[in-house]
Structure 1
Amino acid sequence: MSMFLGIDLGTGSCKAAVLDGEGRVCGAGQGTYPAGEGPRRWNEQPPEALLEGIVQASRQALMAARVSARQIEAVSVGGAMHSLLVLDGSERPLTGVITWADGRGAHQAGQYRNTPQGLALYQRTGCPVHGMYPLYKILWLRDEQPGVFAQAARYVTAKEYLLHALTGEWMVDYSIAAGHGSMNTHTLRWDAEALALAGLREEQFSPLAPPQYLLKLKDTPLVAQAGLLPGTPLVLGCSDAVNSSLGAGAVLPNRATLMVGTSGALRVVARQPILHPQGKNWCYAIDSTHWLVGGAINNGGVALDWLRGVFSRAGGAEMTFDAVAALAGEVPPGAGGVLCLPFFAGERSPNWNLNARGVFFGLTLEHGPAHLARALLEGVAFRFRSLAEMLAEVGCEPAEIRASGGFIHSPLWLEIMASVLNRQLFLPEWGETSSWGAAAWAMIGMGAVADLEAAGQLVKVNGRATPDPEQVPVYDHLYALYTRLYENLLPSFEAVARFQHSTGR
């Protein structure tokens, strides 16, 4: 039987899955690498560490599936969006892999935010004006590191760097390029005006291609180390965001994917570009007939991890995520009136405010750690209600929501999310949706399944989370307070951000 290997090059780890021709998972693996690091607001990873991650993940998946490299009909690679690696004329890295979490481009993006030029750029590229996008990080390099900017011969993403190590080719799929800020989401070409904004040339970027584009693994050290065979077809594939939606079976227009991992996102697959008149949502091309439309948050699991770390340090012993969730379950819905605005890493959709900051509001002497834990879980859920309202504004209110990411392992968080949204959440059988989606592109590229929609139909649902009718009115009331609190704090967010920047925090 033919087998297909999917590799998901994420921000925190590399995951792999082997699927058979029916879409069943036969084996999985994971490779780890260091989280991003650097000076304040920087977030870079060593590129060679990412290559080591794929070796671990691929070998583990093949071993778990008990298949040889000869049984792999095709491979496909997915990758985290919005990364940037600068190479010189000899294709040597001039920077680390700058991740989506890097905040260096905030000032440069701020110069175009809420301007006619910025809105026009959004309408062409589908990328809201925000420092997360590589375009604004390149502007930062131009302004702050002119030596690096002058030497830059090629700008690539982590996925492109990996593909080159596997195939010897420079190529980028539409969905990865769409997250750069410089690809026209209508024409599927590099946008001349966006490139001119930063003084860039089209030849500094990889050729664009659809996800079904076929390459071949070359006889390279990485291919051998990953346990793969030269000559094996490699299907170009898509970003981790697209793959997550595909792996959740949410590629039909009436389905959405709600994902909470380190960050989070709510997205739908549309048949045409859909753009918000105020630039709130993003719109990333998948191919010439599909676009990924939605919004993302910076503070998903990373916010819970922050609170877990605070509790661990205060208690002198390491707390697990399950322990924090259990603590949250000790108090009733509404957390005793404590509200959390979980903007610990700034904000993306729908307001794209990097200066937003984390807040716990409503504390009294009667509140304790359990209230903070529950308020944080509820605050993240409120963020998704904001995203759902944003999608409704552009006519993308789904009939069904599929849930994915690490949060699906917490029954309490699932119940909170369902009750805040007042919607059922359906759980796919295989939780690692991005690696499943990557392997599905290998199937699509080789004709094992007809197309994106047919691949999505292979996904089975094996659970659901249902709103608690007693909790829904509680959360309706608190969400209104949460929204008003955010609006009232906007001037204070700006003031405290200026103070923090001035003091190097």
Structure 2
Amino acid sequence: MNCFVGVDVGTTNIKALAMPSDLSEILAHASAPLTTLSPEHGYAEQDPAEIWSAFIQVITEVTKELTQGGHAITHVAFCTAMHSLLPMDADGSPLGNAILWSDNRAEAQATTLRSTQADLGKAIYAETGTPLHPMIPLCKLAWMRENDPRLLRRTAHFGSIKEFLWHKLTGQFEVDFSIATATGLFNESKREWSELAMKFAGVRADQLSTPVPTTHQRPYQPRPETTDTGLPADVSLLIGASDGCLANLGAGAIKKGTATLTIGTSGAIRQTVRKPLRDPEVRLFCYYLDEGYYVVGGPTNNGGNVLEWVTEKLTQQDTEAVLAEAATVPPGSDGLLFLPYLQGERAPLWDASVRGAYLHVDWLHTRAHFVRAALEGVLFNLLSINELLTSHTGPARVIHANGGFAQSDLWVQMLADMAGIPVRLNASNESGSMGAILLTMKATGVVKTLDEAAERVAFGHTFQPDLDRHTTYRKAFAKWEEALKKL
């Protein structure tokens, strides 16, 4: 049986999923962890050698499993995290670590574009659709220009983690429109690098990859100096898109009125629209998925990392025990509120320096209250982003939920109760890899449109909102928003 493989290169791991073109079953699956390094406060980096090794591990495991099952890989498609920046030489060899989305070293440069050079910042946002924040390569490059000009001069090519892998596999420096629109350097309407942004960043177009559509394909070009991947020589590689865009597609969230909420280490809430959208106050992103499909929304720095903080530092319990403890407290945590800004924030504040807080702490509050309030605070923040989003797109009638938090019935039910609308889970929680496979189906003519591809997504359980709990949460959310405004 012929099959497609979707590779999802995330922040904490690399995953690969293999399915036939009719999506009838999962034929193979593999995962390998990645380590995030923090050499200085506010820094977040990864070793490209480890990334390549993890990629080799998962693709080798999947290829071996498929071969043993008598299946043949025809296409491998890529889904990768956004906003990474990796300096490379002319041969594609890294000159340092990859700087991740969660790295905040470029806070001063982002602040400049939002304050003293606000007109320039708004002009760049109008061209690119990327909010101005330390996460984006535009600001990281400007930081490098000011703080490490020697590395800037030594670097022949700047790219993302995807571009590093793509060059390893094809010998080409290319980047898909989706990843490009998340750099803050790409003029989305002209489909070329922005002169305004490059001037601020201090780079030239010849130091950046050639932009290509998300359905762009190349033959696999194994080279003697690269580790054997186990892939057949005749396999086609599809460049794919970003994780946020493909999470929408893989969740089947393409039509108007359908939102996707993802919580992994970080989080986001998004909708798919048919033409580019810009927020006058520069608070929402708008990224390219495919011709006529754009994903608009807002990301949060504080998602599953808040649960990690609660388990490791606040309670020193395992995740299962923490969630069970949270379930003993009523909705609204008896008035206790939590602003979940443990690692600065992107939407809705776009402030890397902001920090979190518990509010209205009372004698009656127990550890369980602090745990539940933390989980509620993550969702309140995402719902505040959703209110901004729906002011542009119209209300959502259903939320498709994915990411690690979707494994907790308590947390997903909490979301349904807060939002007051159904929350639907996918049959598979691998929405990024699934989105890459669906994009491949469109690129190879198995389906004609992404709408048709999304209709093939299988769903699991749907969580219905409890109206009494929704009323309680609306009152708590109003108080939470008041606290946010004061912040």
Instruction: Please classify the TM superposition score into its range, dividing by the shorter chain length.
Output: over 0.9
**CA-CA distance at 1:332 after TM superposition:** 0.9
1:433-444 paired onto structure 2 within 5 Å:
433-444=431-442
Q: What SS class does the counterpart of residue 28 from structure 1 fall into? A: strand
The answer to whether the aligner puts 1:2 opposite 2:5 as a matched pair is: no
After TM superposition, give the deviation of residue 96 of structure 1 in Å: 0.4
Correspondence for 1:417: 415
Shift of 1:222: 8.6
My pick for the range that moved more, 359-368 or 203-212, is 359-368
CA contact (8 A) 1:27 1:63 kept: no
Residue 54 of structure 2 corresponds to which residue in structure 1? 53
How many angstroms apart in 1 are the aligned matches of 2:8 and 2:303?
Answer: 19
Q: What SS is found at the alignment partner of 2:308? A: helix
Pick one of 206, 209, 212 that aligns with 1:206: 209
Q: 1:204 to 1:448 in 2, by over 3 A?
A: same
Q: Which residue of 2 aligns with 1:22?
A: 22
Paired residue for 2:266, among 240, 259, 263? 263
* Pairing 1:320–2:321 present: no
Partner in structure 2 of residue 493 of structure 1: none
Instruction: Give a deviation string over 1:194-234, Cα, whole Å, max 9, x none.
Output: 11112211011000110111101112369763321123111
Question: Which AA in structure 2 matches 1:17?
Answer: L
* Correspondence 1:286 to 2:324: no
- Root-mean-square deviation (CA, aligned residues, Å) is 1.7
Q: Is the 8 A contact 2:130 2:285 kept in 1?
A: yes
Matched-pair contact (CA < 8 Å) for 1:256–1:400? yes
SS of aligned partner of 2:77: strand
Alignment of 1:286-365 (within 5 A): 286-311=289-314, 313=316, 319-365=317-363
CA displacement at 1:428 relative to structure 2: 1.0
User: The residue matched to 1:308 in structure 2 has which SS?
Assistant: helix
Conservation of the 8 A alpha-carbon contact between 2:178 and 2:242 = yes
Correspondence 1:131 to 2:134: yes
Change (3 A) 1:151 1:255: same
- Residues in 1 aligned to 2:395 and 2:37: alpha-carbon distance in whole angstroms: 35
Q: CA deviation at 1:92?
A: 3.0
Residue 98 (structure 1) shift: 0.5
Q: 1:400 Cα shift?
A: 2.5
Q: Does 1:179 align with 2:179?
A: no
Deviates more, 1:249-258 or 1:374-383: 249-258
CA distance in structure 1 between the partners assigned to 2:227 and 2:202 by the alignment: 39
Contact kept in structure 2, 1:164 and 1:170, CA below 8 Å:
yes
1:33-70 Cα distance to aligned partner (Å, 9 max, x none): 21232211111100010111112222333445565797
Q: Name the SS of the counterpart of 1:442 in structure 2.
A: helix
Q: One-letter code of the match for 2:241? A: C
CA distance in 2 between counterparts of 1:467 and 1:488 reads: 30
1:383 aligned partner:
381
Q: Which moved more, 1:34-43 or 1:222-231?
A: 222-231
Q: Deviations over 1:441-463 (max 9, x none)?
A: 23322222223222211101121
Matched, 1:238 2:231: no
- Taking structure 1 as reference, are residues 23 and 396 closer, same or farther at Cα in structure 2, changes over 3 Å only? farther
Show structure 2 runs of 5+ residues with no match: none
Q: Is the CA contact (8 Å cut-off) linking 2:92 and 2:164 kept in structure 1?
A: no
Aligned-partner SS, 1:324:
helix
CA spacing shift, 1:68–1:207, aligned 2, 3 Å: farther
Runs (5+) with no aligned partner, structure 1: 314-318, 490-505
Say whether the 8 Å CA contact 2:261–2:270 is kept in structure 1.
Answer: yes
Of 156, 161, 181, the residue aligned with 1:158 is 161
Change (3 A) 1:432 1:223: farther
Deviations along 1:293-336, one digit per CA (max 9) or x if unpaired, are 111111000111011111454xxxxx222221111011111112
Worse-matched range after superposition: 436-445 or 174-183 = 436-445
Contact 1:268–1:396 under 8 Å retained in 2: no
Separation of aligned partners in 2, 1:67 and 1:244: 30
After superposition, the Cα gap between the structure-2 partners of 1:66 and 1:376, relative to the gap in structure 1 and judged at 3 Å, is: farther
Q: Which residue of 2 aligns with 1:40?
A: 41
Q: TM-score, normalised by structure 1?
A: 0.92
- Measure the CA separation in 2 of the matches of 1:263 and 1:37: 17
Correspondence for 2:82 = 81
> 1: CA distance between counterparts of 2:440 and 2:350?
34
The 2-side partners of 1:309 and 1:37 are apart by 18
Are the aligned partners of 2:176 and 2:240 in contact in 1 as well (CA < 8 Å)? yes
Structure 1 224/70 Cα, relative in aligned 2: closer, same or farther at 3 Å? farther
Structure 1 Cα separation of the partners of residues 43 and 274 of structure 2: 36
Q: Aligned partners of 1:67, 1:271: CA distance in 2, in Å?
A: 42
**Which of 449, 452, 455 is the aligned partner of 1:454?**
452
2:280 maps to 277
CA contact under 8 A between 1:36 and 1:45: conserved in structure 2? yes
Contact 1:274 1:283 in 2 (8 A): yes
The 5 Å alignment of 1:90-129 reads: 90-114=91-115, 115-129=118-132
Classify the secondary structure of the residue corresponding to 1:176: helix
Identity, % of aligned positions: 33
Q: 1:90 and 1:58, CA in 2 relative to 1: closer, same or farther beyond 3 A?
A: closer
Instruction: Provide the residue aligned with 1:479 in structure 2.
Output: 477
Change (3 A) 1:221 1:442: farther
AA aligned opposite 1:53 = A
Amino acid at match of 2:134: G
- Change in CA separation of 1:222 and 1:20 when aligned onto 2, cut-off 3 Å: farther
C-alpha offsets along residues 415-446 of structure 1, whole Å, 9 cap, x if unaligned? 11111111111111111111111222233222
Letter in 1 for 2:203: L
Residues 94-137 of structure 1: CA deviation (Å, up to 9, x unaligned): 22010000001111010111522211211111011111111101
SS of 2:241 mapped into structure 1: coil
In structure 2, distance between residues paired with 1:367 and 1:321: 20
The count of corresponding residues between Structure 1 and Structure 2 is 484
Task: Give SS of 1:450's match.
Answer: coil
Partner of 1:406: 404
Inter-partner Cα distance in structure 2 for 1:373 and 1:60: 38
Conserved? CA contact 1:8–1:14, under 8 Å: yes
Look up the equivalent residue of 1:5 and give its one-letter code.
Answer: V
The alpha-carbon deviation at position 278 of structure 1 amounts to 0.9
**TM-score normalised to structure 2 length:** 0.96
